[in-house]
Amino acid sequence: MANAGGDADLEKAIPEDKKGDVKPGAAVVETGKGEQEVDFKTLTAEEAFQVLGVTHEGLTSAEVQKRLAEYGPNKLPEGSRNPILVYLGYMWNPLSWAMEVAAILAIILLDYPDFCLIIALLVMNATISYREEASADKAIKALTAALAPKARAMRDGKLEQIESSGLVPGDVILMAIGNIVPADVKLLGEVGDDVPMQVDQAALTGESLPAKKFAGDVCFSGSTIKQGEKHALVYATGQNTFFGRAASLIAGTHNVANLQKIMTRIGGVCLITIGVWCIIELGVQFGHYNHSCYLGEEKCPTLTNMLVIIVGGIPIAMPTVLSVTLALGAFKLAKEGAIVARMSAVEEMAGMDILCSDKTGTLTLNELTVDKPNVVVVPQGMSTEEALKYGALSANISSQEPIDVVMHESHDGHQTLWDHYKQVKFVPFNPTDKYTIATVLSNDEGGKPYRLMKGAPQVVLRNCYNVADIKDHVESKITEFAGRGYRALGLAMAEGDDRGDTRWEFVCLLPLFDPPRHDTKATVEACREKGIDVKMVTGDQLLIGKETSRQLGMGTNMYSTEALLEHVEDEKKLGELVEHADGFAEVFPEHKYEIVNILQKRNHMVGMTGDGVNDAPALKKADVGIAVDGATDAARGAADIVLTQAGLSVIITAIIGARKIFQRMTTYSKYTVAMTFRICFTFGLLTVIYNFYFPTVLIVLLAVFNDGAMIALSKDKVVASRLPNHWALPSIFIVGIVYGLYLTLSTWVLYYVATHTSFFQRKLKMNDLRYKPRSYLEDHCRRFAIPGAGFSTVGAAVPGTATRAYPDINWEGPTPSLLDQCVVEQEYVRQSMTRTLLYAQVSFSGQAVVFVVRTAKHSLAVVAGSLTYIAFFAAQIAALLIAALGFDGYVEPAYVVDDCKFCRYSGGDKVFAFAGVAPQANTEALYSASVIGCTYYIVVAIIWSLIWYIGLDPIKWAMMWILNEDGMRDMAKHKLSQDRRQVTAKDPNENTVGGMGSGGYANPLGRASVAGPLVPPGEAGAPALARASVVGVKHSSMGPAGPGLARQSITRSSLEQKQM
């Protein structure tokens, strides 16, 4: 029967006398690309058939194959990425480049241990980052899964069930209740048909109620048929559908994580620093000190020493530490009901200053409800609940029509209502009469009949006997409800059945609305207190959006998409409009996407909440996409954060958690930048001034122990900032340089005192580490070392060559004198011990900086987290043990003497934990950066570090004053502002860090999270603001009259495309 009825409708769609006689149409315009752009919403059925070149009998199999070749299958393109290339991509950034150069240099020099350590860190960074990011195809696959798998189409004059992927423009299909609309279609049938289809398109457009669709209307792919049955003409398939455009926007969106940009900038500065020091070192070492260099293990100490600058100058553990910190923070957020799909979104949420939110299902419950406090009851003495009872009696609950369900359930006693009444007749709604009539019998009154009319309030009012008396009052309320965006229903009652005259009495005016979630208003207020502007972006009607916004206290400065179109030519005015608006209504996915894009271009960090397919593109585009509880697969797939608890209050919890995580990350960033500059300047200066080399292995261990301990910062005690956080990199770099130079000074003074004076020997009776000037060691050898080894001297002279001590050695260079070999061995031991002393001091004083940069107050006055202290002491105990015990003389020089005769402490004792292998004199072997334990000198390193630590807090305050961090110099001038780029207010009780930008001073970087204009795939320069029912139709698919159809109702955005 369905088929027969459908065929009859199709026959009516194109009357025989009008076939081939279509007048010039309205919604067609040439694109200049071999196709026409058509607005099928405004075309008549006859014109639609003409444009697509088909008849009511559908397509033939041959025509289907032709159109499949032209338009492609009715499915979204399935893209995928090679996981190996994706993984390798995480090794292609400035931070990784320096590590890769260091690894290559290490393997060339046959430095296998350092090579393995560097590669291990590189792989660890890439692995964590790879696991962090979700597949880019996830959102596309979710959208694809939502497409209808089957469809019934007319093929070769017969109705056949086919795969929906086989549909093409021009197909005629049959849709019935429960079906998912498989493509964008135009409904067929006789215009004026009184029986509409109920189509649920809330996930696409945000409309709360299923839409009534009559013959001639369009339906979008992905909608669900709730009631009715009709034939339809397919006009768009796959990626060209309204649904497909959402997928295209997602596929064309490639956000670069803000954290990745920050690390790239930090890496860029570090690379410049490394480059400068490498050039200086190469010039000085080869040009001034005349070092030689040969390939082979430890045959080119100069290049090996450059690994110290390359590895130490780049924060090699930064990606690992920040990723782990984010991962641990994300795990904690998950416990609060916010699952983080993209961990870097946590950092972006901390800086979020604008939150765009969908209305239906996000701010509201997506449940149509009677607003009981605003029900207007007309008869005197009748209560609101009694009026709602009559409303419940007017409902036909067997049809499950949404308004009938709402009317029925709004009465508190609806569960027992039908114990007292019986419905005997129901006249459904039709677009001509615009009301329904229910006839019920009262069981309690002996079957007394009542008739109840509900529908358009003006129509119901006209049918009432007392219309003259109540007209002004009721119409004023109708106008008020319309202005507030309510869907108003009129309700009237009459005694008796439909025989004889009916005396209708107006009962009440019922306002229907989609109520806000219970916690939405509190969430909006909390966001504003935290410096976040909330904007509503909804597909619902403007007046409805304004009323919801008014109830939530969000402001009613809202616009429809027409306002966007009016300013599309003026980017500045368009940006100002979007920035200052409280929200937008009647928007499609393209509009939401573009609104987010415009705000990002104006240096805002934008968040987006949503639940439907129509929100997916904007969720993907936003810096932080948040899918609410109960969201569609498409929304969850596109989102960065997925809420698992009902309501929006968890967003505030997530924001607070994100800001705490951000402060911990900033603490680490300031620490690691300071350490980077400190290592570069410390060992760069020691190398070029004193020809002193340092082992790469200790630098790598420094990063492993100290940076690894920084993971404990993820549990550090911090207070979330009151305003959005921003990276103030210039401040971080300036402060890092100052800290770095100060700590460099501390290390240089220690080095000078230990190697150029006998202070520790004279004052503390410790083993002497002094080896400058050379004459000092020569004197020591003559007086103590050579006689102590059993070799005679003649006065101040030392006769003979080193062969006296090592008769079996094949000397690499000229045979050195015995005095020269003694000096080399003494210098070798003292330098090797000095390296571990400096390692202990650099490690202890460097990691202690973290306690200074984590707070604006005195570092000792603010208690850190217990794990931070535990990690600090654990890392330093490990570092001090390494410094005390050394590595048994590792790295062994290339040219050595075994069982060295003069490798003793200044007091004559044998060196502790030392294999006894020393370099030959007159070779480059002296400059091998070997490591010997400094034993009790670690106490000197600790005390020395504590003394210099005292000056760090005053330096911090001085820098805060100079840079005006946290508004230190003009606190009185600070005030809250909607312009997030100029917010400077600061909570004096917060333990925030200078340079974070959370109200410190104007963000010097701006927030261009995603730059560049919107260019949907395949259409360079295509406008983002387009009407959903406008599609391109190729000339080869048109009927004879198609190209001749003229244009009536095309969108302004289409005009924009023609002018580009």
Which residue type sits at 800? G
Q: Helix/strand/coil (H, E, C) string of 340-352?
A: ECCCHHHHHHHHC
Say if CB 558 and CB 582 are below 8 A apart. Answer: yes
Say if CB 507 and CB 378 are below 8 A apart. Answer: yes
How would you classify residue 423: left for phi > 0, otherwise alpha for psi between -120 and 50, otherwise beta? beta
The 3-state DSSP composition of the chain as helix, strand, coil percent (nearest 5) reads 50, 15, 35
Here the contacts of 716-719 (C-beta below 8 Å, separation 24 or greater) are 716/664, 716/667, 716/854, 716/864, 716/865, 716/867, 716/868, 717/863, 717/864, 717/865, 717/991, 718/660, 718/663, 718/664, 718/854, 718/991, 718/992, 719/660, 719/989, 719/990, 719/991, 719/992
**Residue at token pair 């076939």:** 19
CA dist 638 and 406 (Å) reads: 33
Find the radius of gyration of the CA atoms of the chain: 39
Which residue type sits at 572? K
Which residue type sits at 817? S
**Residue 512, Cβ density class (10 Å: 0-12 exposed, 13-18 middle, ≥19 buried):** buried
List CB contacts of 821: < 8 A, sequence separation 6 or more. 802, 805, 806, 897, 902, 920, 921
Residue 527: how many other CB atoms lie within 10 Å: 23
Q: Three-state DSSP class for 917? A: coil
For 63, 351, 949, the CA distances from 340, given in Å and listed in that order, are 48, 16, 39
Task: Give the tokens for residue 271.
Answer: 């690379």
Task: Give the tokens for residue 651.
Answer: 């967003």
Task: Give the tokens for residue 948.
Answer: 């210099």
354-357 and 533-537: which strand pairing?
parallel
Q: Helix/strand/coil (H, E, C) string of 409-438?
A: HCCCCCCCHHHCEEEEEEECCCCCCCEEEE
List CB contacts of 1001: < 8 A, sequence separation 6 or more. 728, 963, 964, 965, 967, 984
CA dist 385 and 413 (Å) reads: 9
Q: Which residues pair with 1034 in a beta bridge?
A: 35
CA dist 832 and 834 (Å) reads: 5
CA dist 101 and 254 (Å) reads: 29
Q: Which residues pair with 23 in a beta bridge?
A: none
Say if CB 6 and CB 154 are below 8 A apart. Answer: no
Which residues are catalytic, by number? 358
- Looking from the CA of 974 toward its CB, the CA atoms found within 13 Å total 21
Q: Three-state DSSP class for 910? A: strand
Q: Which residues pair with 454 in a beta bridge?
A: 436, 491
- Looking from the CA of 230 toward its CB, the CA atoms found within 13 Å total 32
Task: Give the tokens for residue 846.
Answer: 């460097």
Task: Give the tokens for residue 619.
Answer: 């969720």
